[in-house]
Homo-oligomer: A and B are copies of this chain.
Amino acid sequence: MCRWIAYRGETIALEHYVTAPAHSLIAQSIHALESTASTHGDGFGLGWYGDHPEPGLYREVRPAWSDENLRYLCRHIQSHLFFAHVRSSTGTPTNRPNCHPFACGRWLFMHNGLIGDWSRVRRRVEGLIPDALYGSRIGTTDSEAVFLAIIGAGVERDPIAATLRILAILTEMVNEEDRAEPLRFTSALANGHDFYAFRYAANVPGNSLYYRTAGKDVVIVSEPLDHDHSGWIEVPENHMVVARADRPAGLVPFDVAQAVAAE
Chain A residues at the B interface, C-beta cutoff of 8 Å: 13, 30-31, 38-39, 41-42, 48, 50-52, 54, 56-63, 65-66, 68-69, 72-73, 75-78, 89, 92-97, 119, 122-123, 131, 134-135, 137-140
Contact = CB atoms under 8 A, between A and B. Distances in A.
Contacts of A48: 76
A131 B140 contact: no
Q: Which 7 A-B pairs have the closest CB atoms?
A: A95-B95, A56-B76, A66-B94, A41-B41, A56-B72, A119-B135, A57-B72
Contact of A69 (B51, B58, B76, B78): B58
A41 B58 CA distance: 20
Contact of A78 (B51, B54, B93): B51
Given A57-B69, A75-B56, A94-B62, A123 B134 contact: yes
B63 A59 contact: no
5 contacts: A41-B66, A48-B76, A52-B75, A57-B72, A137-B140
Contact of A57 (B68, B97, B139): B68
A95 B59 CA distance: 12
A42 B56 contact: no
Nearest to A69: B58
A4 to B, nearest CB: 18
